[in-house]
Amino acid sequence: MNATTLLHRQVNPAWIQSGRVTSQAFKPTAKDNRRLSVYDGDKINAADAWQHYTGSLCFSSAGVITVRVDECQSLELESESDPTPFPEHAVIIFGEFSNAETEKKAKQLKAFALARGWQFQAETDTK
Amino acid sequence: MTTLPFMRPKFTGSRFENHTIPLELLGELTVFEEMLVEVAKWAYLRDHPDRKRSPRGFTEGISIRLSGVEDGSAIPVLVIAIASLELFPTDAQEYFEKARDSIVKAVHAASTDGNITQFLPEKALGFFDRIGRGLRDGEALEFHLPNETAVARLTKETRRKLLFASSDLQELSEEITLRGYISEVDQADMTFEVQLLDGGKRKAPLGSQHLDTILEAFAGYKTGTRIELQGIGRFNRKGKLLNLDSVEHISLLDPLDLSARLEEISSLKHGWLEGEGLAPPREGLLWLTRTYESHIPDDCPFPYAYPTPDGGVRLEWDLGTSESSLEVDLDGHTAYWHSLDHSSGTELSRSINLDKPNEWKWLLERIAELRGGSV
């Protein structure tokens, strides 16, 4: 992984309304232990990442949005490969940030991702 | 014509506190008269087992009329009007009164888990499909039992019991408000199909007065155009909506209509997010819908709404260059507000108690600020 590595994030269908994605998509949940799961773009592209997530892991995803390692760094967020669950797995590391800081970074990451546009979208109605 | 006191049923519930009765419920009293006639005939034949039918013109010249509405929630005063000038009660009058008493006793039996068909024939129970249909949760139509102080209460629940006491009746109709998408329109049959927010589809008659709205919603099906519909739904014994008997009102919903979105979120099951997301509690979603609507004016932009992994709801607004979020704990009625202006980096965060009106006022002021206006 390097500064230009793409980090692909799956978006749950419930996290899209009228085509808009919630910034929760980039906010670690309690079970994430401050490590937000993504796919390492050096090892897998967005379409294959979606296929793996929905096919092999059997989770639900409406598509893939993507940030870059250097964008994370600009927000003081490190990222690293974490191949334990599967080889293409990586994480964006949220440190001991406050609630407000975590919210801010999630919103900023989403803004980076949306500026890039959907990298893969499952075929569904927009409703 | 002679008029004599017949009955003074009492509507109870908040809608009747100003001593008025909605016209839709008043209309149900006309069905009550139809029922009285049929039950009177049944009672006559029961008392005259040698006869195969009631006397010709048995109920002619006799009718039930509304003579006024009295205070006390709302009490429609019903009188029996008799065309004949005879001094003594006619058979019909006697059997109208017997019919009235049988109906009241059957309603009482329904509310006390008694034997309903001891008082009414099964075929007469079908009239309850059109009597009491407009009663809402917490409302009742009360009747005094003959020669007793007890009261028989017709409610949504007792109405269901009365209807389903008949082995012939497998379905009942009830007023319904639902939201969904128009997935199909058949202009030849004048029907349409509404796709509910949980994905189920139900057929409904298409009135010409609703055609334009339905066609507009149908054209917007792929892009998520939703409607809200009020009408009469037909349900089976298990309470499942089968189809719509009639449609009274249809309106297109704002694409971000919060109550429709929260209803959509209520269909989530536990495990919705990577096998672990908790489904938001239905009661909590209803609370949020009600409290939001009571504190936020109509001209305020609807937020986007999303479920949170821990069973809450997150409202988000894109206002100007800012993105704001309100993460709501549906059990604790608390929330966390965070707004970020992407251009300036300015942010604001705060915990909010949503049970306090002044906290909603604060929230409204923040939204107004971000919109660049005043409250």
Inform me whether the C-beta atom of residue A111 falls under 8 Å from chain B C-beta atoms. yes
Q: Which residue of A has its CA nearest to B304?
A: A17
C-beta atoms of A99 and B256 within 8 A: no
The closest of B11, B13, B41 to B28, measured between CA atoms, is: B11
> Which pLDDT does position B85 carry in this prediction?
57
Q: Residue B375: pLDDT above 50?
A: no
Nearest 5°: phi and psi at B234? Answer: -110, 125
Residue B114's CB is within 10 A of a number of other CB atoms, namely 13
Q: Which residues of A touch B339 (CB under 8 A)?
A: none
Residue A96's CB is within 10 A of a number of other CB atoms, namely 7
Instruction: Give just the sign of the alpha carbon dihedral B85, B89, B94, B97.
Output: positive
| pLDDT tens per residue, range B135-150 | 998 999 999 988 778 8
| pLDDT tens per residue, range B162-209 | 999 999 899 999 999 999 999 999 999 999 999 998 889 999 999 999
For A59, residues 6+ apart whose C-beta sits below 8 A from its C-beta are A10, A53, B274, B275
> Which pLDDT does position B26 carry in this prediction?
85
Q: Which residues of A touch B224 (CB under 8 A)?
A: 18, 125-127
C-beta atoms of A18 and B256 within 8 A: yes
Q: Which residues of A touch B275 (CB under 8 A)?
A: 59
Q: Which residues of B touch A107 (CB under 8 A)?
A: 323, 325, 338, 340, 342
| pLDDT tens per residue, range A27-54 | 999 889 899 999 999 999 999 999 999 9
C-beta atoms of A31 and B309 within 8 A: yes
The single-letter DSSP state of residue A56 is I
> Which pLDDT does position B361 carry in this prediction?
94
| pLDDT tens per residue, range B14-61 | 888 888 888 888 888 889 999 999 999 999 999 999 988 888 888 888
Using a pLDDT cut of 90, give the percent of chain B over it.
Answer: 77
* Average pLDDT of every residue of chain A: 95
DSSP string of B332-347, one letter each residue: TTEEEEEEEETTT--E
Within 13 Å of residue B155, how many CA atoms lie on the same side as its CB?
16
| pLDDT tens per residue, range A48-99 | 999 999 999 999 999 999 999 999 999 999 999 999 999 999 999 998 899 9
C-beta atoms of A17 and B349 within 8 A: no
Single-letter amino acid code for the residue at B297: P
CA distance B309 to chain A (A): 7
Q: Which residue of A has its CA nearest to B346?
A: A104
pTM to 2 decimal places: 0.74
Question: In a mutagenesis test of the A interface, which of B338, B339, B341 is the best target, namely the one with the most A β-carbons within 10 Å?
Answer: B338
Within 13 Å of residue A44, how many CA atoms lie on the same side as its CB?
23
> Which pLDDT does position A125 carry in this prediction?
54
| pLDDT tens per residue, range B259-286 | 999 999 999 999 999 999 999 999 999 9
Of A23-32, B20-29, B339-348, B351-360, minimum mean pLDDT range? B20-29
ipTM comes to: 0.95
Cβ-contact A79, A90 below 8 angstroms:
yes
C-beta atoms of A14 and B349 within 8 A: no
C-beta atoms of A24 and B223 within 8 A: no
The two beta strands, B171-186 and A35-40, are unpaired
C-beta atoms of A111 and B342 within 8 A: yes
Residues 44-83 of A with CB under 8 A from B: 57, 59-60
Q: How confident is the model at residue B88 (pLDDT cuts 50, 70, 90)?
A: low
Element (H, E) at B291: helix B282-295
Inform me whether the C-beta atom of residue B304 falls under 8 Å from chain A C-beta atoms. yes
Nearest 5°: phi and psi at B108? Answer: -65, -40
C-beta atoms of B224 and A59 within 8 A: no
> Which pLDDT does position B374 carry in this prediction?
46
